[in-house]
Structure 1
Amino acid sequence: MQVVTLCVLAAALAGQATGGLLPPERPYKILMLLPVGSKSHRNVFLPLAEALTDRGHKIVMLTNLPPASKNPNIMEINHDLPYMGNATQNMFDKGKKSGRCLGDFKYMLPFIAKELYKVPAVKKLYDKRKEFDLIVVNHMLNEVSAGPGGKMYIPKQPGRGGNKPPPPTQPHPPSFCPQIAYPFVHEVPFITVATPGMDHCQSAVYGNVLNPSYAPNFMVTFPLPMSLWHRLKNTFMHLYIPFFWRTWAVVPAVQKEISAQFPHLPPLLELERNQSLTLMNTHFSIATPVPLLPSQVEVGAMHCRPAKPLPKDLESWLDGAGSAGVIYFSLGSIARGETMPPEYRQAFLEAFRRLPQRVLWKYEGELEGVSDNVRISSWLPQQDVLAHDSVKVFISHGGLLSLQESIFHATPLLVLPIFADQPKNAMFVENSGLGRMLVWEELTADSIVDALTDIITQPKYKENVAKMSASLRDQLTTPQERAVFWTEYVIRHRGAPQLRCPGAQISWVEFLMLDVMGLLLAALLLLVFILRRLVKTVSTLLFGNTAKTKKE
């Protein structure tokens, strides 16, 4: 018996030494909530879900997208609300209006909150929520502007012209409103997955208020060290975004709709404080390093993987490029090539015609005027393409997952951001020397050729991205292992309250020590008052008669 015990102990220690995970105590049931999200959000959740099923766990995932996983232990439930689907959108039109006011969301998100819990499948899940060992919530609800045909669906509001949608607004606002899903987490352990990485608003909820003098906000980044003007702008963004969303416009309206359906539920922002952990889609090697709490776990590039074999015809075409190499061009899963304005499309066609490289272009739809060195495909295995030795540069929209894949596979970038955090990612690429950034409004065939030629011929870009790739890959455990360990940790420890920072439970007045400073200021004023009275009294006792005699 002792021999068996020693063998088990030795196996456990060996597993820990190699970074492996010990077997779970039992299979868990885990509910993942992505009621409003893009394919890219689901692409962050699926690696976690699949890694958990490899451990024997069962996953149920509520989404607004058709099922994508063939894993028998992952059940995807689409709530089928049409105005929350991932419909085709013209991202170029939306990108031009990215500066519009976000006020439309204070009408739309409450409407979603009102309708979501009327869906039978959602209501059934809600009734069975306590049967799950853990709930995982998507902390960002972007893409909520997508309605039928790519239009934003806005419910009828007084003075807003009925149900007619206004002009499309920014599709990726800082719409961190997971509060829509928070009725599910009442009295149930839950964690969040931060698909965009570090979000200063969410970090503050955990009690980790980031310093705006160096920590960027979600939407914009500035060169470090920041100038006085940049620090002022960054501070304003740090204050304005949570005020607009959480205090003024959106969350109060969502709270009203949720309270109407769940009158006995605690306030949503109070439920939010009960989250045990967040898995952040970032890593210090590919972002600005900031201080983290134990409850903030970096799992950036969790979806990245080693290359798989390419289809033989595609691999043969890439190999045939010779020393000139290949340029890979993709604008992600949402910005469809056929929606690209004609002047931009012609600029690319002309530029590619003048280049010696072959060009692999992910493009949906028919395309005329393509030169012989260009190959068009509506879908491509992106990571496998990026890992191929012939690929010299990746022309990208600057989406976070594409950026991580390019770094992971050490491929320099030419970024043309369209909306949301993409300009921020593009600035990171340029400031870090990973590639170049171009602006759509100034795009010409000459600028494309010049940028691509610079990236391909100057070795510094490849060297910089290779160094960052090596740093990203150099980890004690894989992001998937960390995500799985901490997910199971929260379940094993029944919500793991030991992870929670006391700063999350106090008001901003207490956190900033305003009451203490006020008390110290009052004490200082009282001390000054007492000293003045004391000096006056002593002066009167010592010099009072002399002063009176001189006066007489």
Structure 2
Amino acid sequence: MRTILNLLLTLSMASLTLLPDPSQGARVLMVTLGGTKSHKIPFLELGRALTRRGHSVTMMSAFPPDEAQIPAQPSASTAGEARERRHRLYSSVPAHDSDVYGNATGLPAVIAAVPWVPKSEGFLKPPPPPSTDHAAGSLVEIAPPGFVQFVREFTDWDLLGRRINGWHMAQLPEALQYAYESCRSFLGDPVTRRFIRDPNQSFDLVIADGAFPDCIVGFAHRYRVPFMYINTVGFHVTMLARSGGPVPYAVTPFFSQPYTEEMTFPQRVVNTFLHFSINTMQVAFADMALQGIVREAYGSDVPNIVEQLKNVSFILQNGHASVSYARPYLPLVAEVACIHCKPAKPLPKDLEDFISQGPEGFVYFSMGSSVKAANMSPSLKALFVEAFARLAPIRVLWKWEDVSTDGLPANVKVSRWLPQQDILGHPKIRAFVTHGGLLSMFETVYHGVPVVTMPVFCDHDSNAAKAEMDGYAIKLELRELTTDKLFGAIQRIMFEPEFRDNVLHRSLILRDQPETPLDRAVYWTEYIIRHGGASHLQSPVRNFSIMQAYGVDVMAFFLLISMVFLAALSAAVWFTLPILIAKLRISKRVPTTAVPSVRQLAKRKVH
């Protein structure tokens, strides 16, 4: 009998292995409404990895694909599928929108699957290679023209000038304006509308940007599929709180403030106020400003946005204890900081030749993709040029949109674009001068390069404060910047060994992981697809109010009970004390029988 049962069990297990895995060959929709290209990079890395595992990925953003990313010869099956999807979606895109996509056809470029290249050389414990039992998928990028144009116009700002003049770009009115206008321009774009209404479209998973998910989660309702986030702004924890995750305000700096987890009491007061008020305001903003736009685009049956956000299946958090902070997370959160990091490749010949001419190494200067250095004032440019000239014979590579060499010293080379990770991984680099963007800070730790930061807006201040606290950065304020301060900071970073030691220590911690962040992200993405969501990972706290989640209602109850007890005690004392006092007064007025003394007794005996 036992033999028969074992045989049946073996057959049943074998039959399970023959069932198709729903996570193989899935269709994934990725959408980011982020206004800077740094929002797209984590999505692109995950999307490429998913295609290598046989999934088909469609990615929507405000940033068209670069020509350099397009393979020369995509596979026939991938190209055929892409042509069919492009024809269906873009058969009537106006010709004047062709430049939006970076090609002559006006259609989104297809990034076909490429052969698997291990990404784990830079981590201490390489994971097993992915399965190759199924064909590679495809990655299609869609950049709705109206949305692209809105982001280009909205972000055409002089961030450096505004920071120097005392303006802070994380101001609430501008943040709300971007959230509203980006939602309206994205969902109102004809390309997006056709995509939503296409009856032939179907997906198995939606991945939204945790920075702006309100107008994206409608896709999950449209296709009746689970959704997850890539929380691109690591210190922006609103969506973590919305999912029911604990966010201790006392040690969680608000993402736009120059605080660390070691805050003073006044800082904790401001920090708590910002977290609480922004959380409350976002709920009201979604209900009053965005809900109508969402229902107009997806249909009147779309649930309340706030209620939808609570049902996120998983969050890929752009953080790690080595570069952000140690945090209590729910099981539906996995840290994937440095998901895009990779070992350096050899530099182009012109850059290598320039660097080799400086035997004492070089400094790399970049203000990222969001800060347009070409908009800087002539005085600020002269300040940088003078400081870099004083560094000679040390070379300086400068990412700058204005490639004119007028007035540049011989030790400085400028370029519109530079391979940042290949530069940071070069053995002769001495220091990195940057704005403090999150991805740049991850890369500088990964490659072990100390940094001088000059925060400009958004999360730059909190990123720079954390790096300075960890001992591998010097933070400078643009409003107070001088040639001597910049030159002195770079000199300290290069020649004081503790900065290099601290960043190498952080780099070792970041790399010491059981698998790469990219492999971790792929695993959890396929996990959500396999199980059709992950309600078992969700916390009931997501349905609580802030008062309930942090026990404020319970504390208020105990406070009320204490107050009632004290009030009752006070009332009892108030009413009984006069009675006691009156009794004492009465007892003093009643005459008492005098006790005779010894002398009096003696006199009585004599008489």
Amino acid at match of 1:84: F
Instruction: Give matches, 1:52-451, under 5 Å.
Output: 52-68=50-66, 69-70=69-70, 71-72=111-112, 73-81=138-146, 82-86=148-152, 88-95=156-163, 96=165, 97-98=167-168, 101-106=171-176, 109-127=179-197, 131-140=202-211, 177-186=212-221, 187-247=224-284, 249=285, 252-261=288-297, 262-322=299-359, 324-355=360-391, 356-365=393-402, 366-451=404-489
Deviation of 1:37 (Å): 3.3
Amino acid at match of 1:118: G
Partner of 2:515, secondary structure, is coil
Offset, 1:101: 4.6
1:30-69 paired onto structure 2 within 5 Å: 30-68=28-66, 69=69
Structure 1 residues 526 and 316: CA distance shift in structure 2, 3 A = closer
Task: Decide whether the 8 Å contact of 2:204 with 2:226 is kept in 1.
Answer: yes
Alpha carbons of structure 1 residues 508 and 99: separation in structure 2 relative to 1, 3 Å: same
Q: Kindly indicate whether the alpha-carbon contact (under 8 Å) linking 1:200 and 1:209 is maintained by their aligned counterparts in 2.
A: no
The CA RMSD measured in Å over matched residues stands at 3.5
How far is 1:209 from its partner?
3.1
- Distance in 2 between residues matched to 1:318 and 1:361, nearest whole Å: 12
Taking the aligned partners of 1:417 and 1:529, their CA distance within structure 2 comes to: 53
Aligned-residue identity in percent: 33
Higher Cα radius of gyration: 2
What code does the residue aligned with 1:341 have? S
Contact 2:235–2:253 (8 Å) recurs in 1: no
Inter-partner Cα distance in structure 1 for 2:141 and 2:38 = 16
Matched letter for residue 127 of structure 1: R
Moved more, 352-361 or 52-61: 352-361
CA contact (8 A) 1:35 1:79 kept: no
SS at match of 1:393: strand
Hey, what's the Cα distance between the residues in 2 that align with 1:495 and 1:256?
A: 27
The 1:532–1:336 alpha-carbon spacing in structure 2 relative to 1, beyond 3 Å, is closer
Q: Indicate if the aligned counterparts of 1:208 and 1:503 stay in contact, CA closer than 8 A.
A: yes
Amino acid at match of 2:207: V
Gaps of 5+ in 2: 1-6, 71-110, 113-137, 575-579, 591-607
- How far apart are residue 111 of structure 1 and its match? 4.4
Q: Larger deviation: 129-138 or 366-375? A: 129-138
Deviation at 1:393, TM superposition (A): 0.3
The one-letter amino acid of 2:494's match is I
Alpha-carbon displacement from aligned partner over 1:174-227 (angstroms, at most 9, x marks no partner): xxx421223212232000111011423222111123112212122124245322
Alignment-mate amino acid for residue 85 of structure 1: V
Q: How many angstroms does 1:529 deviate by?
A: 9.2
Q: Deviations over 1:82-127 (max 9, x none)?
A: 5423354422234342268522554554444344333332123323
Displacement after TM superposition at 1:530 (Å) = 9.3
CA contact (8 A) 1:192 1:277 kept: yes
Give the 3 Å change call, closer, same or farther, for CA 183–390 of structure 1 in structure 2: same
Contact kept in structure 2, 1:44 and 1:303, CA below 8 Å = yes
The C-alpha deviation readout for 1:509-549, integer Å capped at 9, x for no partner, is 4324455456556666788899999999xxxxxx9xx99x9
Work out whether residues 344 and 444 of structure 1, in 8 Å CA contact, stay in contact via their aligned partners in 2.
no
Distance (whole Å) between structure 1 residues aligned to residue 539 and residue 323 of structure 2: 26
In the other structure, the counterpart of 1:163 is none
CA distance in 1, matches of 2:144, 2:213: 16
Separation (CA, whole Å) in 1 of partners of 2:353 and 2:29: 43
With normalisation by structure 2, the TM-score equals 0.74
Moved more, 468-477 or 236-245: 236-245
Measure how far apart 1:244 and its partner are.
3.0
Q: Distance in 2 between matches of 1:111 and 1:455?
A: 42
Q: Secondary structure at the match of 1:180?
A: coil
Read off the aligned partner of 2:384 and give its amino acid letter.
F
SS of equivalent residue, structure 2 residue 29: strand
Q: Which shows bigger deviation, 83-92 or 490-499?
A: 83-92
State whether residues 198 and 280 of structure 1, in contact with CA within 8 Å, keep that contact through their aligned partners in structure 2: no
On the 8 A contact 1:212/1:231 being kept in 2, the answer is yes
Contact 1:344 1:440 in 2 (8 A): no
Query: Which ranges in structure 1 are unaligned for 5 or more consecutive residues?
Result: 13-21, 141-176, 537-542
Pick closer, same or farther for the CA change 1:256–1:523 going to 2, 3 Å: same
Q: Shift of residue 24 of structure 1?
A: 7.2
Amino acid at match of 1:181: I
Deviations 1:347-403 (A, max 9, x none): 121122222311111122224111111122221111001111111001111111111
Deviations 1:122-171 (A, max 9, x none): 1233235972000000111xxxxxxxxxxxxxxxxxxxxxxxxxxxxxxx
For residues 390-539 of structure 1, the aligned pairs below 5 Å read: 390-517=428-555
Distance 1:529 1:398 in 2: 55
From the superposition, tell whether residues 66 and 225 of structure 1 become closer, same or farther in structure 2 (CA, over 3 Å): closer
Distance 1:106 1:433, change over 3 A: closer
Do the aligned partners of residues 343 and 23 (structure 1) sit closer, same or farther apart at CA in structure 2, a change above 3 Å counting?
farther
Name the structure 2 match of 1:148: none
Mark the CA change 1:122 to 1:518 in structure 2 (over 3 Å): closer, same or farther: same
